[in-house]
Amino acid sequence: MKTFIKLLIMIFLPLSVVAEEQSANTLASTMEVFVFPTEGQDSGQQSKDEASCYDWATTNTGSDPFDLAEQAESDEELAAAEKQAAESTGRGAGARGAVRGAAAGAIIGEIVDDDASDGAKIGAAAGVIRGRRQGRAANEQATEQAAQNAQGREEANEEDLENFKNAFSVCLEAKNYMVKY
């Protein structure tokens, strides 16, 4: 019995390693698409068929998954830069509000009781509060916009990749392969 088990292991273990190596080195596997021959095609024929279908899918969808991967990386960098810029939106709004409020308060104070300094103090305090609120609102809006832009780019990239995989799969299925992704 032990001899029989050892014999089975010696026969099937190398086959599973070879099959694993072949599937790990195919064009399809780099895109997380799994292709299985249904008509006994050898690995050389499968590689040719995958390359042919890759070219066909790239031409017909206008998308290349390797270009899409590079685009995704640059989109991530752009999203980080947009987020950083959004975080700085609204900075200094309190100080600007204080200056505007002080100016308006000074004018009102001068008109009401001929004392511009009291009006300027009150206007500056009100201006700081208003400026900070506006700054926070601008910051939140810019941050939300940056997040929406990043999400839109990511969804477009994913849709392009999905379209490519569909075209690639259809081509391979027409050549008698079973395709899963």
Confidence at residue 52, expressed as pLDDT on a 0 to 100 scale: 95
**Do β-strands 177-180 and 34-37 pair in parallel, antiparallel, or remain unpaired?**
antiparallel
pLDDT of res. 41: 93
Q: What is the pLDDT of residues 82-95, one digit of tens each?
A: 877 777 776 677 67
pTM over 0.85, yes/no: no
**pLDDT band with cut points at 50, 70 and 90 for residue 21:** very low
Q: For residue 18, what are its two tokens?
A: 């070879």
Per-residue model confidence as pLDDT tens digits over 124-176: 777 777 877 877 887 788 788 888 888 998 999 999 999 999 999 999 999 99
Q: What are phi and psi of 148, to 5 degrees?
A: -65, -40
Kindly state the DSSP code that residue 38 receives in the 8-state scheme: S
Select from 62, 70, 161, 48 the least CA-distant residue to 35. 48
Q: How many domains does the chain have?
A: 1
**31-65 per-position pLDDT tens digit:** 889 999 999 999 999 999 999 999 999 999 999 99
Domain extent at residue 86: 2-180
Question: What does R_g of the chain's alpha carbons equal in angstroms?
Answer: 32
